């Protein structure tokens, strides 16, 4: 079973400045983070999202973490709204 396909999980995808897509999976009180590749999801090293971050605050959290990758006018977008 792929991450986020269980009955008790929540799965969200985010475009990070047009550079890559992250898939965040909420399992219990933990966020698991994966980078989407061609047909694959692999763990994203170096990114730990605290369990108390609400889904509505994830774009802000990701922007705080990845802001050095952004060019003028770029933003992080949630893909699955």
Cα(65)–Cα(49) distance, rounded to whole angstroms? 10
Question: Which tokens go with 76?
Answer: 């992080």
Residue pointed to by tokens 């995808």: 13
Helix (H, G, I), strand (E, B) or coil at 57: helix
- Residue 4 near residue 13, CB atoms below 8 Å: no
Strands, E, within 1-81: which ranges? 9-16, 20-27, 30-36, 41-43, 76-78
The tens digit of pLDDT for each residue in 54-63 reads 999 999 999 9
Domain boundaries, the chain: 9-78
pLDDT band at 42 (very low <50, low <70, confident <90, very high): very high
The reported pLDDT for the residue numbered 1 is 43
């Amino acid at each position: 079973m792929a991450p986020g396909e269980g009955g008790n999980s929540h799965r969200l995808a985010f475009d990070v400045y047009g550079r890559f897509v992250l898939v965040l999976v909420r399992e219990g009180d933990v966020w698991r983070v994966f980078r989407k590749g061609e047909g694959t999801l692999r763990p994203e090293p170096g990114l730990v999202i605290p369990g108390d971050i609400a889904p509505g605050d994830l774009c802000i959290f990701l922007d705080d973490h990845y802001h050095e990758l952004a060019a003028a006018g770029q933003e992080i977008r949630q893909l699955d709204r």
